[in-house]
Amino acid sequence: GQNIDQPTEMTATEGAIVQINCTYQTSGFNGLFWYQQHAGEAPTFLSYNVLDGLEEKGRFSSFLSRSKGYSYLLLKELQMKDSASYLCAVREASTLTFGKGTMLLVSP
Amino acid sequence: GAGVSQSPSNKVTEKGKDVELRCDPISGHTALYWYRQSLGQGLEFLIYFQGNSAPDKSGLPSDRFSAERTGGSVSTLTIQRTQQEDSAVYLCASSEQHRGSYEQYFGPGTRLTVT
């Protein structure tokens, strides 16, 4: 079966660092995506990992360990606008399977 | 350039009626996906089109759901005899390729409410 787990909610303070974890058990693996979704809006692409290791893009970084079925999204220097849902998704063959998302609330 | 567009943005319908939801993908994108998102739930894959290949319908929840993609571009998702549990946001996405690092670009969604 397919199973993608992420925490439901997280809170953090403006300027801080937060790590959102994602574990997956899927029948196939062709890469892992992170998307950001603000309330009432469409998801937007943040990062893609297919090999083990860390991918850095500005304030956001994403890490993958295929052997552990584990990824995390690291957000640095948090801003109020980072309050959103963060979706972990695994590509199996051609389609994406999404987790339920982690709602991040950034407070002043 | 233009992104993925969907229409209508909101649809309220009575139980038992049929509805059609439209998606215009980004020009040149060969892959098109339909998802639905219910309150508090993740994105649920419905159907996937790639070029002229037969669509992957493995995510459709029942035979009341169907989709077409005409001319390799515009797609229509049809829900027949709607039920209250069909209420959700229906999202369409497109991508240049269906494999690898090619990201999916999402449309704004259609919020369907079945009364």
Q: In sequence order, what DSSP letters do the residues of B40-91 get, joined into one string?
A: T--EEEEEEEETTSPPB-TT--STTEEEEEGGGS-EEEEE-S--GGG-EEEE
* Euclidean distance between CA atoms B111 and A71, whole angstroms: 31
Q: Cα dist. B42→A91, A101, B8 in Å?
A: 15, 6, 22
Whether A33 and A45 have beta carbons less than 8 Å apart is answered as yes
| Contact assignment for B43 to A98 by CB distance below 8 Å | yes
Number of H-type helices and E-type strands within chain A: 0, 11
CB B43 to CB A30 under 8 A?
no
Q: Name the closest residue on chain A to residue B91, using Cα atoms.
A: A42
Which of B46, B49, B94, B106 to substitute to test the interface with A, most A CBs within 10 Å?
B106
Q: In this structure, is the dihedral angle defined by the CA atoms of residues A81, A84, A86 and A87, taken in order, positive or negative?
A: negative
Residues A14-64 have pLDDT tens digits of 999 999 999 999 888 989 999 999 998 999 999 999 999 999 999 999 999
Beta carbons of B31 and B95 less than 8 angstroms apart: yes
A96, A97, A101 ranked by CB distance to B104: nearest: A96
Residue B1 confidence (pLDDT) above 80: no
- What pLDDT, on the 0 to 100 scale, is given for residue B68? 95
Quick check: B43 and A41 CB within 8 A? no
The C-alpha atoms of residue B5 and residue B84 are separated, in whole angstroms, by 25
| 3 state DSSP class of A82 | helix
pLDDT class of A1 with cuts at 50, 70, 90: low
Amino acid at B113: T
Mean pLDDT of B33-50: 90
pLDDT at A104 over 70: yes
Mean local confidence (pLDDT), B48-66: 92
d(CA A5, CA A101): 9
Give the whole-angstrom CA distance, residue B114 versus residue B38.
Answer: 13
Nearest to B107 by CA among A65, A37, A69: A37
Give per-residue pLDDT as tens, B92-107. Answer: 999 987 666 688 999 9
Q: Quick check: bond before B8 cis, omega within 30?
A: yes
> Which sign does the torsion angle of CA B72, B76, B78, B84 carry?
positive
What does the pLDDT read at residue A55? 93
CB–CB contact B42 A100 (8 Å): yes
Alpha-carbon span A97 to A91, nearest angstrom: 6
With an 8 Å Cβ cutoff, are B56 and A95 in contact?
Answer: yes
Residue closest to A21 by CA, chosen among A98, A77, A73, A66: A73
Name the average pLDDT for chain A.
Answer: 94
CA distances from residue A40 to A73, B4, B7, B107, B113 in whole angstroms, order as listed: 22, 16, 15, 12, 15
